[in-house]
Amino acid sequence: MGKGYAEGPAAEEAEAARERGDHLARSTAPVRRRVVIGSTPDNPEQHVIGYADEVDPEALFSSGAAWGIKVVNAVE
């Protein structure tokens, strides 16, 4: 005789969820990235130029394309 609660589609889905690892804790920490902030000829006010892993702040400054550059941590 079956146990009732341990049979059927609900039990199969619960087992599949355990195999996928659905019960494991997910990281809820915010993603932090470094953001390049500075002024450009088109916009002399301080503004976000891009992410530090996508733009090179030193190259922007040395070429004169941007000035007053800061690299700060940001949360996505």
Place of tokens 């589609």: 9
DSSP string, the chain: ---STTSHHHHHHHHHHHHHTTTSPPP-PPPEEEEEEEE-SS--S-EEEEETTTS-HHHHHHHTS-EEEEEEEEE-
**Do the domain assignments include residue 20?**
yes
Q: Is residue 2 part of a domain?
A: no
Number of domains in the chain: 1
Indicate whether 7 pLDDT > 90.
no
In tens, the pLDDT along 54-65 reads: 999 999 999 999
Average pLDDT score over the chain: 86
22 pLDDT band, cuts 50/70/90, is confident
Whether the pTM exceeds 0.95: the reply is no
Instruction: Count other Cβ atoms within 10 Å, centred on residue 49.
Output: 22
In which band, very low, low, confident or very high, does the pLDDT at 1 lie, cut at 50, 70 and 90?
A: very low
Domain span at residue 34?
8-75
Closest CA to 38 of 14, 16, 9, 69: 69
- Residue 3 covered by a domain: no
